[in-house]
Amino acid sequence: MTFDQLRTLLVVHETGSALRAARVLGREQSSVQKQLDTLNRNSQVLCGEVLTVRQGRGRDFLFTPTGEATVELARGTFEKWLESIHLSRRRLGRMLTVGTTEFTLPIVSRAWNRVSEEFRQREVEFKVAHVRTKDVWSRLENRQVDLICGSIVSTPEGDLRLTEYEVIEYARGQALLLTNLAEAELPDAPVATSRLGGVPLVVPPAGLVADLLATWYGTNFRERLNVVADIDDVHYGLSLLRSGFVRGCMIVTGSIGRGMAAQEDPDAVPLRAIGLHDDLEPKAELMTGAFVRRADLERYDAGHPLNRLWCAVKEDVRTYTPLA
């Protein structure tokens, strides 16, 4: 049984037929069918049961219990094999994967400009992965990226998750309340976090803002707040407020809040940025930065692409004004 045969079996399982699998693999249908026949003969001899059974013209293959078990075994084998290959390539400095949220992309972009020519000469495969804020920690902990730039909720007591990471901090501060309510409805004076239950809120289901509200109000914060709209991302929330379709407030970072409040659009509802006064415990701030596993930096020498990129990020933070 070869890797190529196992790959064919996986594609047939995913597509349902030899014809569709052949299209995916760029082969002739007869070649795919020949591999299936070989696998079925071997399985019959070894296990007493074939892997696949034809069900008639136009119908997908039926996979026997032995076939399903073999597919799961093949899938696990390929995943472990690919993971091992990727780890080896990372260890040898042949591949580097960086994760970034939309708003922290400039950090990676500027750092990349400092090392891009060196990486090209060394033929380092450099990949950038779009990461939603809610997935920052899972992508790091699952080793799906080597370095990540994003924002997290930070408390004075410190975040235990950071103990295993090196951190380059770009910005730290309080969130703002962005609103389309008139000043008569909501004055410009800072709103105490303990009073957020008294304002209509536009809230995402997960991510930075949800983490912030959970820090103040617990995981059941929706039951304690006046949520007038659920949003999937910040852009939809901004559009919702500027349209005037929903009247309320949205918690945003300082840079987004000030930027949106400064925009003048005669066709849109004007927005105001109002400060938040954190009077709840624990105190929470928004921190934007770059994160990398300390063990990885120590495992590799100074010339490894990960260490070179990390140094480039350090140089960037000394050169550029921190994000507000």
- The DSSP secondary structure of 247-262, one letter per residue, reads --EEEE-HHHHHHHHH
d(CA 237, CA 200): 13
Alpha-helix residue ranges (DSSP H) falling in 169-304: 208-217, 221-224, 234-243, 254-262, 294-299
Q: Which fold has domain 176-283?
A: D-Maltodextrin-Binding Protein; domain 2 (3.40.190)
Residue 53: strand, helix, or coil: strand
d(CA 323, CA 236): 22
Domain spans, the chain = 3-89, 95-170+286-318, 176-283
Q: What is the pLDDT of residue 322?
A: 52
Alpha carbon of residue 34 to chain centroid: 41
Do 176-283 and 95-170+286-318 have the same topology in CATH?
Answer: yes
Q: What is the pLDDT of residue 158?
A: 63
pLDDT of the chain along its 324 residues, tens only? Answer: 888 999 999 999 999 999 999 999 999 999 999 999 999 999 999 999 999 998 877 788 999 999 999 999 999 988 888 878 777 777 777 889 999 998 889 989 999 999 999 999 999 999 999 998 888 878 877 878 999 999 889 887 667 778 889 999 988 888 999 999 999 999 999 999 999 999 999 999 888 899 999 999 999 999 999 999 999 888 899 999 999 999 999 999 888 888 888 888 888 899 999 999 999 988 899 999 999 999 999 999 999 999 999 999 999 888 765 544
Tell me the β-bridge partners of 176.
252, 275
Q: With beta carbons less than 8 A apart as the criterion, state whether 21 and 4 touch.
A: no
d(CA 265, CA 248): 19
CATH number of 3-89: 1.10.10.10
Phi then psi for residue 56, to 5 deg, are 115, 165
d(CA 173, CA 262): 19
Token pair in block for residue 98 = 């960086």
d(CA 212, CA 146): 26
Phi then psi for residue 83, to 5 deg, are -60, -40
Phi then psi for residue 172, to 5 deg, are -150, 135
Contacts of 105 (CB under 8 A, 6+ apart): 149
d(CA 314, CA 317): 5
Alpha-helix residue ranges (DSSP H) falling in 3-64: 3-15, 18-25, 29-47
Give the amino acid at 158. G
d(CA 13, CA 62): 9
Domain 95-170+286-318 superfamily per CATH = Periplasmic binding protein-like II (3.40.190.10)
Tell me the β-bridge partners of 203.
230
d(CA 229, CA 250): 10
Token pair in block for residue 62 = 């039926």
Q: What is the pLDDT of residue 324?
A: 44
